């Protein structure tokens, strides 16, 4: 069932009043890939009455008030993507398209949506129930942070949104405990995964907002402390002073178990756009997720430009085979299903089915990473569970093909001496839809080091194996390479070397090249703002001129590159 979004639906459910109203920057897609849909379904499963208001009109009371006022709290999210990332390119140009808006035009999502929606609620409901922030925009902006679009340090979004609480991370279990606490008139401030504002200092203190605003080295110190306290097993409570008040960050909630994830995904999702929105057109996001299946959450890749480890965590949690197979069987019975599972994966597809045993007991290491600069021996990658899962889904009645569309880590495949080769052979023969996504991001050693990415010799080794297996199978298949231009530390000459590599070694002109976007809560953004390598504290070159950033990209993407004027810096 869809969660109600109109008064008529409330009448049909005989719900005179809602406990929780969720407000989101996306159209309401009822899918296990959509965070607000999961949160709503989890709450309803526990007996709470929940409604959703998606992309409300910012200029009237009509939308925000159509479900009345909640008995417990308002839950506000910017949607599946930070609203500033959704609304602007890396060159700060306004995006015309929005994959999560009916009709595809970017006309419904306000800038800084979390703040905008919180203000909208306050405007029309003066003394209302608590306003609670969640989702990726709130989660990644939960401490004082550098904001690329205004080019300045901003306070925790809790202060700017004038909200009461912030639930960070996935919040699968926190949201239920939080709603229960409010219902029972108990203090939610004691719950893990909750952030709030206090007059008193509580916990390990980060450098204050005023300090990080004045001193970039204090900002680096603050981010290190914040990043190192994101594992629920080892994290301490943190606090950060903002003028005369304190932001309090409780330790993260415990990661969901396989049993808990299985239950979440057993809740019935419509896998469709709510009828209320359909009159305005289709949403492009459905093309990707409607017949796809999420197998796990979290990522221990820890690429410095990626915020997944801060939001979903560095520990991979995966669903059981039985849960995933049941979901595939359910999809096969959908009326418009043509037999093709478009993806069976997660943030990184081939992290399914194994984890570091030490990490599961003691938490993520503070002094080293799982894959960088080389895979840790304690990780022991094993693709056998993933191979078996794919094979079982393929055997289901009505399933013609299972594709792996999520990106994969080729260093993990190469490091799995027992089953890595069998996994690669399996997907090359059966599960590649013409192109397989991989993300080398660059080829120059010093840039790769700053990105936290594996050396380029592994890329060439993997390409050779992929090409040989594709030829052996008689299929014309290709690797799609994701590359980044203008990452901190990258100069024009580095992009020229990358162009030379792609032309001579990869024999391609790449199309998937993006200009680095300094999104909140990543180490690469820290580098961009401070001009320092935060690990060695040595100065970095950072390209901040939009025209020069675009030149870096075009060096690689144009088929016959001609240098722009003077030689690169």
Helix (H) or strand (E) holding 551: helix 546-557
Q: Is residue 446 exposed (0-12), middle (13-18) or buried (19+ Cβ within 10 Å)? A: middle
Q: Alpha-carbon distance 78 to 99, whole Å?
A: 14
Instruction: Answer for the pair 406, 369: CB distance below 8 angstroms, yes or no.
Output: no
Q: Which residues pair with 340 in a beta bridge?
A: 401
DSSP 8-class letter at 167:
E
Residues in contact with 120: Cβ distance below 8 Å, sequence separation at least 6, in sequence order: 23, 56, 58, 64
Phi, psi at 534, each rounded to 5°? -70, -10
The C-alpha atoms of residue 462 and residue 477 are separated, in whole angstroms, by 14
Binding-site residues sit at 299, 303, 306
Q: In this structure, is the dihedral angle defined by the CA atoms of residues 385, 354, 191 and 138, taken in order, positive or negative?
A: negative
Residue numbering of the annotated binding site for [4Fe-4S] cluster: 299, 303, 306
Rounded Cα distance between 197 and 243, Å, is: 12
Q: Are strands 401-402 and 340-341 parallel, antiparallel or unpaired?
A: parallel
How far apart are the C-alpha atoms of 97 and 108, rounded to whole Å? 11
**Sole residue written with tokens 């794919």:** 390
CA 39/CA 175 separation, integer angstroms: 7
Angle value at C-alpha 398, between 392 and 402, nearest 5 degrees: 50
Query: Which among 385, 443, 374 has a CA at the least distance from the CA of 412?
Result: 374
Instruction: List for the chain the helix, strand, coil content (%; round to 5).
Output: 35, 15, 50
Q: Identify each DSSP E strand in 266-412 by its residue range.
A: 272-273, 292-294, 296-297, 317-318, 340-341, 343-345, 401-402
DSSP one-letter string for 117-134: HHHHHHHH-TT-SPEEE-
The DSSP string of 438-472 is EEEE---HHHHHHHT---HHHHHHHHHHHHHHHHH
Angle between helices 546-557 and 492-504 (to 10 degrees): 10
Give the strand pairing for 194-198 and 145-147.
unpaired
Distances (CA, A) of 389 to 353, 383, 385, 470, 533: 9, 10, 6, 22, 41
Biggest CA-to-CA distance, the chain: 71
Count, residues in the chain = 569
Q: Is the dihedral of CA 219, 221, 227, 231 positive or negative?
A: negative
As given in the structure block, the two tokens for residue 421 are: 């080769």
Say how many C-beta atoms besides its own lie within 10 A of residue 8's C-beta.
Answer: 10
């Amino acid at each position: 069932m869809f969660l109600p979004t109109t008064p008529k639906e409330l009448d049909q459910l005989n719900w005179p009043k809602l406990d929780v109203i969720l407000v989101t920057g996306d159209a309401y897609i009822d899918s296990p890939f959509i965070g607000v849909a999961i949160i709503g379904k989890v709450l309803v499963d526990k007996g709470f009455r929940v409604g959703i208001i998606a992309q409300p009109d910012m200029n009237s009371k009509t939308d925000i008030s159509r479900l009345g006022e909640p008995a417990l709290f308002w839950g506000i999210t910017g949607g599946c993507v930070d609203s500033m990332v959704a609304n602007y390119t890396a060159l700060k140009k306004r995006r015309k398209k929005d994959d999560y808006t009916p009709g595809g035009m970017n006309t419904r999502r306000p800038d800084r949506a979390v703040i905008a929606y919180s203000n909208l609620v306050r405007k029309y409901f003066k003394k209302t129930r608590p306003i609670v922030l969640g989702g990726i925009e709130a989660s990644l902006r939960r401490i004082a942070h550098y904001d690329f679009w205004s080019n300045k340090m901003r306070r925790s979004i809790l202060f700017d949104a004038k909200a009461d609480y912030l639930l960070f991370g996935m919040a699968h279990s926190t949201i239920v405990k939080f709603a229960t606490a409010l219902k029972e008139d108990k203090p939610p401030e004691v719950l893990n995964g909750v952030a709030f504002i206090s007059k008193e200092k509580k916990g390990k203190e980060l450098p204050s907002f005023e300090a990080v605003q004045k001193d970039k080295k204090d900002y680096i110190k603050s981010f290190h402390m914040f990043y190192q306290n994101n594992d629920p097993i080892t994290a301490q409570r943190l606090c950060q002073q903002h003028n005369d008040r304190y932001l309090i960050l409780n330790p993260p909630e415990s990661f969901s178990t396989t049993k808990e994830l299985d239950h979440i995904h057993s809740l019935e999702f419509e896998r469709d756009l709510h009828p209320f929105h359909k009159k305005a057109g289709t949403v492009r996001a459905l093309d990707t997720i409607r017949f796809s299946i999420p197998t796990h959450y979290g990522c221990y890749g820890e690429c410095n430009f990626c915020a997944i480890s801060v939001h979903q965590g560095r520990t991979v949690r995966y669903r059981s085979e039985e849960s995933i197979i049941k979901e595939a069987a359910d999809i096969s019975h959908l009326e418009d299903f043509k037999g093709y599972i478009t993806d069976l994966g997660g943030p990184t597809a081939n992290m399914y089915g194994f984890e570091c045993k030490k990490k599961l007991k003691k938490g993520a290491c503070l002094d080293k990473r799982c894959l960088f600069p080389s895979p840790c021996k304690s990780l022991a990658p094993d693709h056998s569970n993933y191979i078996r899962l794919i094979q079982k889904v393929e055997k289901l009645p009505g399933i013609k093909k299972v594709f792996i569309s999520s990106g994969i880590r080729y260093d993990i495949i190469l490091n799995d001496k027992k089953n890595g080769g069998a996994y690669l052979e399996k997907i090359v023969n059966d599960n590649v839809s013409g192109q397989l996504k991989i993300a080398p991001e660059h080829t120059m050693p010093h840039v790769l080091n700053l990105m936290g990415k594996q050396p380029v010799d592994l890329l060439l080794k993997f390409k050779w194996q992929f090409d040989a297996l594709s030829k052996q199978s008689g299929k014309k298949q290709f690797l799609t390479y994701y590359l980044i231009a203008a990452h901190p530390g990258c100069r024009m000459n580095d992009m020229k070397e990358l162009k030379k590599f792609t032309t001579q070694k990869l024999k391609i002109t790449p199309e998937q090249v993006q200009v680095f976007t300094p999104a909140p809560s990543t180490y690469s953004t820290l580098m961009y703002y401070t001009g320092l390598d935060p690990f060695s504290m040595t100065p970095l070159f950072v390209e901040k001129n939009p025209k020069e950033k675009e030149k870096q990209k075009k060096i690689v993407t144009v088929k016959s590159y001609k240098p722009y004027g003077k030689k690169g810096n």
